[in-house]
Amino acid sequence: MKKNALLFLTGIVSLCLLLFACRKDISLYIENKEQASSIQIESAKIWRLQRLQNKGVVLKPLWDGAWQMTTSRKRNILVVPAPEIFMADENNRIRRFFVFTYDGNDVNGGRIVEFLGHNYAVEENLNYLIKNIDSESIQEFNGSILQYDINYLKIIGTSYEDGKKKANAEVEIVNNSVSEMKQIQISRMGIYANAKLMLNRTSGLMTSSSECPATVVINNGFPSTYCQGGIVLYSEQTNYIDGCLASIIRNYIATTCPGEGSGSGSGSGSGSGSGSGSGSGSGSGGSPQYGGGGSTGNLINLIENPCTAAAFAMAMTSDASANIKNLFFDAFGINTNNTVIFKDMTAGLNIDGKTTTVTLNGVATSTVQFNSAAFDIRSQQYAVATVYHEMFHAYLGAHFPADQEGKILIPPQHEYMASNYVDMLASVLTSQFLGLSITDAKALAWSGLKGTSYWDTLSEPDKTAYGIIQTLYSDKERADKLGTYCN
């Protein structure tokens, strides 16, 4: 009898140990998630550590909860949970993850992503949101997707309304102290609030003499009182129209009070005010507050055309373009005083974009303009290649400024680009657009460089083929067009 009881007890203990060992597998099975391999996880760990700067805010992955999935654009991704701060309001909740892209078992890109819902149940639709992380539309989604580099520096914040991406809006998550929050709600607008942004060759970035309409500022859901010493968390959406700051919309999310691990709730009423600010805070258990540790650079996005905005977002958020963005943010990153402005322009269809750079006292201000009429008919492949092309121009203008006579102290920029960046751009395009052949990618990489001496070294068959390919990707009205199009 004792022997049977001992055997029974041993069996129970063994079963418990087995269940404990397999608890992660069981959890993933219940949640319909595919477990990541140990090789993929180790590859992601190495990739992250190689790029981690350990400065400012460091967000640590929770590797034990990692799973793999395929996005709606057929990309293989490794999703790794990150420490989070509990929020009781499920319709205005933030979830954040590390997302790594991989080929086979080799990780080739990574970012931090935050999903913020506005009267939208992020929790219930989490897998759907992750699967459509880079989609232009996400059915019925109201909220924002914020993307950061691996050091938790913001790259881009995109707003969605009724499932559609808003082209002229930029979103960030802000943490401010209670005292700063009160000041923001009563302060005057900043220097650029009522004037257009422009470039002046003698004084760099400045405002124009023509004033814009008054900026509309809306503060939604903020409480009338706060706890002393608290940190207020809210989203801030800025909307530009014709170079003017048209509106600032702030939506209250939560307040963290001293001694509390987290804060949550919703305020009542709405109001109007003005001002801007930034702050920082920390959550429970060493978990950094949402919103990251700042921006990757001094970037002003004034793009309003939907097709241009879509191509710009694809270029800036693509993990495949790490080499190009490293160059770009080397010139316009947080360790520089340089500024770059992206905006729309109107021109004939023979011009896709142009970049001008003004340098004053060693500080560069670049203006990158994209032709709305051209981007409306170009394929996404062609349009994204154009965005990268102009980013190269901005980089070269900031790193190799003109002398006092206006001469660039390097060979002409197109010559430099043809010599150094064609293969890099072609490789990025083939990684970013699955199914794009290396021949088509090279043709797109050569766009705008036909007048260079390096173009002349190509064989006549190659030049003819590249010219035809560029044409097929550049006009949505053609019956024999190639690529995918904005509308």
* Residue ending a domain, choose from 117, 135, 162: 162
In DSSP terms, 176 is beta-bridged to 232
Domain assignment of residue 413, yes or no: yes
Are 60 and 91 members of one domain? yes
Please tell me the predicted confidence (pLDDT) of residue 453: 93
CB 251 within 8 A of CB 221: yes
Q: How far is CA 63 from the centre of its chain?
A: 23
Domain assignment of residue 263, yes or no: no
Q: How confident is the model at residue 402 (pLDDT cuts 50, 70, 90)?
A: low
CB 68 within 8 A of CB 78: yes
Q: How confident is the model at residue 333 (pLDDT cuts 50, 70, 90)?
A: low
Q: What is the DSSP string of 192-246?
A: TTTEEEEEETTTEEEEEEEEPPPPEEEEES--S---TT-EEEEEEEEEEETTEEE
To the nearest 10 degrees (0 to 180), the angle between helices 413-420 and 422-432 is 60
| pLDDT for 344 beyond 60 | yes
Higher pLDDT: 27 or 131? It is 131
Please tell me the predicted confidence (pLDDT) of residue 380: 95
Query: Number of structural domains, the chain?
Result: 3
Phi-psi region of 204 (alpha: psi -120 to 50; beta: other; left: phi over 0): left
| pLDDT for 193 beyond 80 | no
Say how far apart CA 470 and CA 445 lie, in whole Å. Answer: 9
| pLDDT for 316 beyond 50 | yes
Residue 248 host element (H or E): strand 244-256
Please tell me the predicted confidence (pLDDT) of residue 151: 85
103-112, 264-273, 452-461 — most confident range: 452-461
For 100, 130, 147, 296, the CA distances from 150, given in Å and listed in that order, are: 10, 17, 10, 11
Q: How confident is the model at residue 67 (pLDDT cuts 50, 70, 90)?
A: very high
Are 346 and 442 members of one domain? yes
Average pLDDT over residues 61-84: 91
To the nearest 10 degrees (0 to 180), the angle between helices 438-445 and 422-432 is 130
| pLDDT for 474 beyond 50 | yes
Are 153 and 179 members of one domain? no
| pLDDT for 43 beyond 50 | yes
Say how far apart CA 197 and CA 354 lie, in whole Å. Answer: 17
| pLDDT for 22 beyond 60 | no
Are 305 and 443 members of one domain? yes
Q: How confident is the model at residue 184 (pLDDT cuts 50, 70, 90)?
A: confident
Are 337 and 399 members of one domain? yes
| pLDDT for 198 beyond 50 | no
- Range with the lowest mean pLDDT among 71-80, 130-139, 212-221, 431-440? 212-221
Average pLDDT over residues 373-382: 96
Average pLDDT over residues 246-262: 79
* Residue ending a domain, choose from 143, 162, 181: 162
Question: CB-hemisphere CA count at 13 Å for 355?
Answer: 25
Domain assignment of residue 138, yes or no: yes
Containing domain of residue 124, as a range? 29-162
Please tell me the predicted confidence (pLDDT) of residue 449: 94
| pLDDT for 136 beyond 90 | no
Are 237 and 333 members of one domain? no
Domain assignment of residue 270, yes or no: no
Higher pLDDT: 8 or 232? It is 232
Are 321 and 451 members of one domain? yes
Amino acid at site 337? N
Phi-psi region of 26 (alpha: psi -120 to 50; beta: other; left: phi over 0): alpha
Q: Supply 170's token pair.
A: 């930029």
Domain assignment of residue 7, yes or no: no
Are 155 and 191 members of one domain? no
Are 63 and 153 members of one domain? yes
Domain assignment of residue 9, yes or no: no
183-187, 195-199, 436-440 — most confident range: 436-440
Q: How far is CA 207 from the centre of its chain?
A: 27
Higher pLDDT: 191 or 75? It is 75
Please tell me the predicted confidence (pLDDT) of residue 13: 58
Are 130 and 223 members of one domain? no
Are 331 and 391 members of one domain? yes
Amino acid at site 220? N
Domain assignment of residue 262, yes or no: no
Say how far apart CA 141 and CA 120 lie, in whole Å. Answer: 7
Higher pLDDT: 35 or 445? It is 445
Q: Supply 198's token pair.
A: 């422009």
Burial 394-428 (b: 16+ CB within 10 A, else e): bbbbbebbeeeeeeeeeeebbbbbbeebbebbbbb
Amino acid at site 354? K
Query: CB neighbours of 389 closer than 8 A, spacing ≥ 6?
Result: 352, 353, 417, 425, 447, 448
Q: In percent, how much of the chain has pLDDT > 70?
A: 77
* Residue ending a domain, choose from 138, 162, 186: 162
The rounded mean pLDDT for the chain is 79
Q: How confident is the model at residue 219 (pLDDT cuts 50, 70, 90)?
A: confident
Q: Phi, psi (5° rounding) for residue 399?
A: -85, -25
Average pLDDT over residues 153-176: 85
Q: How confident is the model at residue 7 (pLDDT cuts 50, 70, 90)?
A: low
Domain assignment of residue 341, yes or no: yes
17-31, 96-110, 424-438 — most confident range: 424-438
Q: How confident is the model at residue 220 (pLDDT cuts 50, 70, 90)?
A: confident
Average pLDDT over residues 215-223: 86
Please tell me the predicted confidence (pLDDT) of residue 265: 40
Query: CB neighbours of 67 closer than 8 A, spacing ≥ 6?
Result: 28, 33, 34, 35, 36, 78, 79
Are 181 and 62 members of one domain? no
